[in-house]
Amino acid sequence: MRLAKFAAALLGTIALLPVAPQAYAQDYPHRPIRMVVPWPPGGVTDVVARTLAQLMSDSLGQPIVADNRPGAAGTVGVGIVAKAPPDGYTIMMTDVPSHAISASLYTRLPYDPAKDIEPIALPSRAPLVLVVNPKLGVKSIPQLIEYAKAHADTFSFASSGPGSITHLTAERFVRDTKIKALHIPYKGGNPATAALVAGEANMYFACISAAIPHVKAGRLTLLGITLAKRSPLWPDTPTLAEFIPGWEMGCNTGLFAPGGTPAAITARLHAEAMKAVQQPRMKAVLSANSAESSSFTQAEFKAYVAQEMKDWGAVVRAAGLKVD
C-alpha cells in the first residue's frame, strides 16, 4: 500500500516537471504564425521575408503570414513585436542596422531593443550603394564631394526614414567628407529611390536591390558600394572604403522574436530559417537582390546584433542625432 502511494506521488511529481525543450519545440507550431515586416511591401526586406516565410511554412506545416507594418524607420513594427506574447506565434523580419540604430537614436521608444527583441537568425546580407541623380553630372565620389561643397545651400540626400541605415550612413558620409546636406526622409526604400529618380534629392545610400535596376536603366548613377572589397559583380565600382577607411555596412535582414520567447522555439525557428536559405528558391531570391545568406549560429547572430547596437550608437552620438 505504501509502495503504491509512493509510486503515485512520484508520478505526480514527474507530471509537474517542465517539458523538455526538445519536446516543446517538436510540438510547435499548432497554428499560423504572424511575421511582422516593419517596412512597406516590395522592398528587399519584404521580398526576403515573404520567401523565407513560405519555405519555413512548408517545413513547419503551418502558414507564416507576412504582415507589413511600416513607420518611423521600422520602430512601429518592432514595437508591435516587442509587445506580442513570447510564444513563437509572432516573429519579425527587419534589417539589423535600423533596429540597432534605434537603440541610440530614439529617446522615447516604447520598448527596449536589447531586451524586448530576441535575435534568431540572419538569412540575408547585402551592401548599400551610393547613387545619385544623373542630372548632377557627377561620375565619381570626389566629384560628388566637390559638387556638394559648391551647392552647400541646396544639396540634399534621400533616406528610407529618420533613423534608418540609409539616413545614418548618409549622415556619416556628410560628417566624414565635411560637406553639408539637407535630409529628405521617405517612408521606405522604394519611395526614396523613386524620389531620387524624380530629382527630389541629389544622392541616396540605397540597398543595392532597390537601386541596381535604375542604374542599369540609366535612371541613376552608381558611385560606390559599402563593401570591404570591390564586388565581382561590379568590379569597376569603387568601395567607399577606398576613400573613407573602415566603411563596411549593409542591409542585413534578420529574423527576430519577442524577448522571452522560449529557447526551444527560437532554436527551432533558427534551424528552419537556416534550412530555408539553402533551398534553391531562396538562393535565387537572394542572388536576384545582390544578397547572400549567413552561416551565423543563433549565438553569433545575437552577438552581432549587440555589436551593431554599439557601433551604430557611436555614429549616432558622434552626429549628435536624437529623435523624440
- Cα separation, 316 vs 308, whole angstroms: 12
Tell me if 225 sits within 8 A of 237, measured CB to CB. Answer: yes
Q: CATH number of the domain at 228, please.
A: 3.40.190.10
Q: Do residues 311 and 280 both lie within one domain?
A: yes
209 with 257, same domain?
no
**Count: domains in the chain:** 2
Domain with residue 52: its CATH number is 3.40.190.150
pLDDT at 25: 56
Three-state secondary-structure class, residue 221? strand
Domain boundary (213, 242, 271) is at: 242
Closest CA to 315 of 256, 254, 260, 244: 244
| 118 and 132 inside one domain | no
Over the stretch 222-256, which tens digit does the pLDDT of each residue have? 999 998 888 877 889 999 999 998 888 888 999 99
Of 175, 208, 242, which closes a domain?
A: 242
For residue 312, what are the domain limits? Answer: 34-125+251-319
Q: Is residue 15 part of a domain?
A: no
DSSP H/E element including 118: strand 117-124
Cis preceding-peptide flag for 29 (omega within 30 of 0): yes
Is the confidence at residue 107, as pLDDT, over 70? yes
Task: Examine the domain organization and report whether 60 and 145 are in the same domain.
Answer: no
Residue 18 has pLDDT above 50, yes or no: no
Domain for residue 28, yes or no?
no
Is pLDDT larger for residue 167 or for residue 12? Answer: 167
On whether both 219 and 232 belong to a single domain, the answer is yes
Beta bridge partners of 128: 207
Does residue 285 belong to any structural domain of this protein?
yes
Dihedrals φ, ψ of 222, to 5°? -90, 125
Contacts of 135 (CB under 8 A, 6+ apart): 199
Residue 59 amino acid letter: S
C-alpha–C-alpha distance, residues 76 and 287, integer Å: 29
Would residue 13 count as lying in a domain?
no
The grid coordinates listed for 320 are 549628435
Would the pTM of this model clear 0.85, i.e. be above it? no
The pLDDT of residue 212 is: 87
